[in-house]
Structure 1
Amino acid sequence: MNVENVISYFKKVCSIPRASADEGAIADYIVGFARERGLEVHRDEINNIIIRKPGTVKGAKPVILQGHLDMVYVKEEGSSHRYEDGIEVKEDEEYYFADGTSLGADNGIAVAYCLAILDSKDLKHPDLEVIFTVQEETGLIGADKLDISSLKGTRFINLDSEEEGVFYTSCAGGLRCRMIWNLEKEVWEEESVPVTVNVRELAGGHSGINIGKGLGNSIVLLGRLCYALKDTKARICDMEVEGKANAIANTGKACFCVKPEEKEKVVNIIRDTEEIFRKELQYTDHISLEITEGLPVKNAMVYTEKYQTGITKSLMLLPYGVAGYSFAIEGLIETSMSMGALTTENGKMTLLMSMRSSVESQKYFLRDKIQIIAEAFCDECIFESDYPGWQYRAESPLREKAIEIYERLSGRKAELAAIHAGLECGYWDGKKPGMDIISVGPNLYDVHSTKEKVSKTSISNMWNWLTELLKELSEV
């Protein structure tokens, strides 16, 4: 089959706004798509969708295909792009990408593959059960809520991986956390100069896949900057980092009120701290701290010393990055922690964090550490979106067939791998024990960031592999 059908559907999917918890429009489109083609379709109350398509041959065991509808929407600071306009797919000779925003190939390309297969009239395949889930990017909520008891298939292909030729066989479980401060401010009657620091140039990236690459996190760095200023009388009047739980925070700002006679000292500390960050990140990332000075003011509103101290100490003490490597799989990150956003709304400041581990007890060990810090320095700590990992299965006929076909078509050796990120496979494995599951996908780069792109060649390669796999699975 022609891969152009996949690309056409990919562009259509990208054009529909579909951030997590806003999948209504894309769900409407897919349900209409199915009904136009006379396919059996079921949609639940949160917009998960199951579509069934009869096989072209009788007697073969059904196959389940699955991807998620939602995307992580981020845009460059200063971008005029409007979320409600959807994403226009750009391209060059090698890649598809977006202009100043994330692309949404995670997991729009899986949706496009599935739509092209459901639309096909000449593809040989067994009975198909196609699952589209929602809110995957905010804690695999759709997979948690979806009832799959009616599914007949036991061969399950998850299309949410990002490296061609790498067949994932297990993944980490995860847990999210919100630390909350009931922020108190007070009037600082003395004259002060506002000094705003904006974090620039950090790469950002996926908080699971990229957590071991030594990338800078703007929340961590702003916390260190606040601590570096502890021996001055600088007072925080604002601190804000927009972001997502599953993305490494790469922008943000902190505004300090500074006594005029201390302004030069404070600016020098900021510049010295910037140089420290640059040296630390010289092999992995780039950073600059942009300083803007305002006019002197009186009666500025600043954080109380209690809250300034509590927030600063929390950001200094909270674990960040890789907490441990696996002793079972060489090079695999076992446990990690990331910070995604630090925002204030209605007087409450919230720090959004994400923990991952392939060992459940280590995930909860990390949770307990955070709880101890929270009890000392914040007003409330909420743990949520606790999702399971996916354990390796020694015997997998589906995996063997998938690898054999990939190596035959590509002439390259396939790789088995575990991933330090959440895949919905853990839910499918738990809800229907005995399911034979693999997770695959084309080459995606810098997902959850404005640099996201997907390889044209790899989309085509994995399309050829997927259609050949379905053809051969229709024979058994």
Structure 2
Amino acid sequence: MNEHLEQLSPQPLWHHFRTLCNTPRPSGHEAELVALLERWADARGLAHDRDAHGNLRLRKPATPGHERAPGVILQGHLDMVAQANAEHPHDFTRDPIETHVADGWLHARHTTLGADNGLGVAAALAILEDDSLTHGPLEALFTLEEETSMGGALNLAEGWLEGQVLLNLDSEDRGEVFIGCAGGADVVVEAALPTAPLAEHEVALRLSLTGLVGGHSGIDIHRGRGNANRLLVRVLRSLEAFDARLVDYHGGTLRNALPREAFATLVLPADEAAAASERVAALQQELRGELAGVDDGLTLTLHPLMSPPAQALNAHASRMLVAALHAAPCGVERMSPEVEGVVETSNNLGVVGLEDGRFHLCALVRSLRDSATRDIADRFRALFELIGAKTRVENAYPGWTPASDSPLLARFCRLHRQQLGGDPAVKVIHAGLECGILAGKYPGMQMISFGPLIRGAHSPDERVELESVEEFWSLLRALVEDLAEGS
């Protein structure tokens, strides 16, 4: 599978990326890949070990004569986001990713590509394999579960890594280098809500919202794209005028991906069904108008169910739940006053579910300020306590404080000028790079993050620009060699 990747340049990097595409690796299912990489390291005489959480480290001694150079850690995460188009059956725990090239970009067919962070991992492996490269002591750190919980970085052993410089290879913009990132936390809400039987005059309908672009809940949240959960709740709120009661709800699949689809079953009086259908058609046009030019594929449908359910939320519980969801924070909360054009605080209503009266929500709050993350979480708690729900905060991780005077950054900028003829843009990103967590565990370590140009991450539109991968590889090799000459 994916033989055509072997023909792309730089070939060593794409060879390893082919292996990653052919090896299933959704979050929580990285074991097969870890074992494969350990066998690969054994075949090349590279030392390897794991910490207690299962994070993998590969090590290569310095080129003779460069043993005193600062140790360099090449860092990425092994897992990928598992998203497929609804009409495309794909088992991310068993099926390889099928790739193709179009107009200078590499795409996957109907699924996420895994360039985030497969290209960073592939680049690190290619560096370890390159015996023509002059380098100091090298470590490759591959973490687990970055996309779902940051679990690998959060549980990384302290005092385990030996290097003084860390190159995070998990950025997605050509010509940019990142020196800071947002922290974040998952906000989980759960409740058991009362139900009541259907009345004789009630009919059941299936409400669907599909066709949104989706994307990364940090990088893309300011682009004005639709959030399927936010929009479908808005529709449900409007349908309350027809005495609609909610039966079930399923929206979004990952807390860090902008939801592209959401579905609900509802019941309402039979004599209101025609008017409800007209309202849904009008709302489709209204929402399409609001999203025009940004998210043009929205489709909203309402269809009768032939087999009605036995129960729905009672009228009060349904109205209270829809009201709470309608009022919940969603999207950009505040732009940074310090860093122009960067989102300071946001929230993504990532996963919402209701089944048999059991309600579950998982939102991802991000902020450059940990205090703002705590405040959004507390607002969720205050809001959903009104309907008797319990709220908890999980997987909190700190932000990465920028260090604009870093010698490592100065070195990278000099090499960028030499290689590409201009300065890189120095950036802070509204996404959860693992650097924030790693910097807390290794406070003296210098860090930067850079990578090739990736678009549509966390969605089936994910793609990477081939030319940018060549630039990324050239810069990485140059930086490793330059660091071998000492500080």
RMSD over equivalenced CA pairs, Å? 1.7
User: For the Cα contact (< 8 Å) 1:245–1:354, is it kept in 2?
Assistant: yes
Deviation readout 1:445-468 (Å, 9 max, x if unpaired): 000000000111111111011111
User: Which residue identity lines up with residue 26 of structure 1 in the other structure?
Assistant: L
Note if contact 1:62-1:126 (Cα within 8 Å) is conserved in structure 2: yes
Residue of structure 2 in register with 1:7 after alignment: 14
Q: Name the counterpart of 2:413.
A: 403
1:192–1:298 Cα contact (<8 Å) kept: no
Give secondary structure in 2 for the equivalent of 1:386: strand
Q: Helix, strand or coil for the counterpart of 1:147? A: coil
Q: Which residue of 2 aligns with 1:90?
A: 100
Query: How far is 1:81 from its partner?
Result: 2.1
- Return closer, same or farther for 1:316/1:128 CA change in 2, 3 Å cut-off: same
Equivalence for 1:320: 330
Further displaced range: 84-93 or 3-12: 84-93
Residue aligning to 1:301:
311
The alignment's TM-score, normalised by the length of structure 1, stands at 0.96
Asked whether the 8 Å contact 1:135–1:141 carries over to 2, the reply is: yes
Q: What are the Cα deviations for residues 41-82 of structure 1, in whole angstroms up to 9, with x where unaligned?
A: 111343211111111133211111100001110000111222
Does residue 69 in structure 1 map to residue 69 in structure 2?
Answer: no
CA shift for structure 1 position 235 = 2.0
**Paired residue secondary structure (1:170):** strand
* Counterpart for residue 58 of structure 1: 67
Identity across matched positions, percent: 33
Please give the TM-score of this superposition, normalised by the length of structure 2.
0.94
2:112 to 82, 86, 102: 102
Q: Which amino acid is 1:34 matched to?
A: A
Moved over 3 A (4+): 297-300, 344-347
Partners of 1:378 and 1:282 in 2: CA distance: 38
Q: Which SS does the other structure have where 1:272 is aligned?
A: helix
Q: SS of the residue aligned with 2:461? A: coil
Q: Deviation string for 1:22-52 (max 9, x for gaps)? A: 1111111111111221111111343211111
CA contact (8 A) 1:177 1:384 kept: yes
> C-alpha distance in 1, partners of 2:477/2:353?
45
Aligned residue identity for 1:140: M
Shift of 1:300: 3.7
Check whether the contact 1:123–1:467 (CA below 8 A) recurs between aligned residues.
yes
Question: Larger deviation: 248-257 or 165-174?
Answer: 248-257
Equivalent positions of 1:458-469 (< 5 A) are 458-469=468-479
Equivalent residue runs for 1:238-253 within 5 Å: 238-253=248-263
* Alignment correspondent of 2:56: 49
Q: Secondary structure at the match of 1:22?
A: coil
1:346, 1:255 → 2: CA distance?
11
Match of 1:26? 33
Question: Match for 2:31: what amino acid?
Answer: G
Q: Distance in 2 between matches of 1:249 and 1:222?
A: 11
Written as runs of structure 1 = structure 2, the 5 A alignment for 1:43-442 is 43-56=50-63, 57-83=66-92, 84-286=94-296, 287-295=298-306, 300-344=310-354, 348-442=358-452
Count of residues in correspondence between the two structures: 475
Question: What CA distance in whole angstroms lies between the structure 1 residues aligned with 2:356 and 2:32?
Answer: 29
CA drift of 1:155 comes to 1.1
- Provide the rounded CA distance (Å) in 2 between the counterparts of 1:150 and 1:308: 51
Give the gaps of 5 or more residues in structure 2: 1-7
SS in 1 for 2:236: helix
Deviates more, 1:75-84 or 1:146-155: 146-155
Is the partner of 1:46 in helix, strand or coil? coil
Indicate conservation of the 8 Å contact 1:177/1:353, yes or no.
yes
Q: What amino acid is aligned across from residue 196 of structure 2 in structure 1? A: E
Q: Deviations over 1:185-230 (max 9, x none)?
A: 3211314332212112111010011110111111111111111112
Deviates more, 1:354-363 or 1:189-198: 189-198
**Aligned position for 2:4:** none
